[in-house]
Amino acid sequence: MNEHHYIACDLGAESGRVILGRLSGGRVTLEEVHRFPNGAVRIAGSLRWDVLRIFEELKIGLRKVAARRMKVESFSVDSWGLDYVLSGAGQPMLSLPYHYRDGRTDRTYAAALRSPGAELIFAETGIQFMPINTLYHLLAERDGSPCLLEIAERFLTIADYLHFLFSGVAVIEESLASTTQLYNPATRAWSERLISEFALPRKIFPPIVPSGTRLGGLLPEVAAELGVEACEVIATCSHDTGAAVAAVPATGEDWAYLSSGTWSLIGVELPAPLLTAAARAHNFTNEAGFGGTTRFLKNIVGLWLLQECRRTWALDQRNYDYATLAAEAELAMPFGALINPNDARFWKPDDMPGKIAAYCRETGQPAPETPGQFTRCIYESLALLYARTLGEIAEVCGRAITRLHIVGGGSQSRLLNQFAASATGCTVLAGPVEATALGNVLLQAVALGHLDSLGALRDVVRASFAIESFEPQDRADWQHAAARFAALPG
């Protein structure tokens, strides 16, 4: 029986992990080898990423694997999208990369929507409009730090930058390129029109490679430092959501997915991009998936709301784990207060409980007071937003949706899963939790010829993990709550 080992380096907004994957007999197992905290660094009035610390943490994890003296055939990094590193002039990094939530894009986003305007930008990219997108950060760079762009040789998104540090190959993998709002999904190349319209230097745009591209071996000095021998670097779906969607254990066509974590990414898998006026009006996005598929989705705020509440409470020495919060939320009064998670105030960090309470008071609702009430408010509001978004997807795509696959860390919340089923009227199928790491590992297997297709990959996921099912309950109560939710501002 053939057995293969791969390493997935999975980076999220709260933590990073090095995971060892083993494929044998049509089943896959994962083992977390190293975990480390991640988050924004506040410096000089800005939010940044300490990406070199991330690089060092990944090397720690790789050394731990190397110490086992087993044959590992490849490794790949996946990360969030949007953010990037500038390098050039003989320097591996020209400045600390900005965090997507940094406020420097507020002005450039508004200016771009005025000229050349949303219609042209969407026609060229098919990407959802958000001020956090790479395009608006590069425009802020152009306006605020033109000297950096003058000397820069390239920008690389976060996972691609780490691949560059490990392999020396400077390319951007297609799934990450597609999140920048500078990639044209029809031509599967950079949008030359937008690069010209915005007077961005063409030289900084690296080659784009398809998902599953084999980049080659480790740099000799890196291999020697880590004690790793023949291990290949592969750009799988380097965008974490792209990897997660590849691992959705779905069959047929009447399904949607929800990658649930800091963000909630909800959508369907299509054979081609959908660039219609209706898609633009509903602010959907077309991101590249494995094998030429399109992830037609909407990126909405997710468990970030609860993560920020926990961070605020912890500052007062009130530390709550997610299980405790869910248990208290289950005891709280249903539909006591609702928020629109899309309200702009909730996208920024700091004092999330205060922002939620203020929103409730402004909309004539009793403000939550206890952690359980805040948690229930967040969960119910997210579930109602899922329901509204699925309705828009069905309308724009002309597709009936009866099943919602929830994957990622948020799929561990049985209460939120039940709320999602009840709000949407769909059967919710929860799991696997480690969808991103699974997609990363198994796409390496496809790239190396150990699996022959995306379908075979999903067969392995179904054979390897139990999926929990949730059916809708209390539909009348949820439909009444949906009417309240529809009237909320934001």
Say if residues 139 and 171 touch (Cβ distance below 8 Å): no
Q: Provide the pairing of β-strand 403-407 with 46-48.
A: unpaired
Q: Give the C-alpha separation, 294 to 300, whole Å.
A: 18
Distance CA 371, CA 316 (A): 13
Which residues, 6+ apart, have CB-to-CB distance to 286 below 8 Å?
125, 126, 127, 178, 185, 273, 274, 275, 279, 294, 295, 296
**Residue 299 bridge partners (DSSP):** 265
Q: Give me the amino acid identity at 177.
A: A
Count CA within 13 A, CB hemisphere, residue 112: 30
Helix (H, G, I), strand (E, B), or coil: what is residue 292? Answer: helix
Which residue in this structure is represented by tokens 């509001």?
A: 381
- Pick the catalytic residue: 10, 102, 160, 240? 240
Q: For residues 65 and 20, is the Cβ–Cβ distance under 8 A? A: yes
Query: 270: which strand partners?
Result: 294
Question: Is 194 within 8 Å of 113 (Cβ atoms)?
Answer: no
- Rounded Cα distance between 201 and 153, Å, is 9
Cβ 194 vs Cβ 133: under 8 Å: no
HEC-encoded secondary structure of 69-107: CCCCCEEEEEECCCCEEEEECCECCCCCCECCCCCCHHH
Q: Which two tokens stand for residue 8?
A: 């997935």
Q: Which of 305, 299, 326 is nearest to 378 (CA)?
A: 305
Q: Catalytic: 321?
A: no
Q: Name the CA radius of gyration of the chain, rounded.
A: 22
DSSP per-residue letters across 192-220: HHHHHHTT--GGG-PPEE-TTEEEEEPPH
Cα(294)–Cα(471) distance, integer angstroms: 28
Bridge partners, residue 79, by sequence = 239
The catalytic residues are: 240
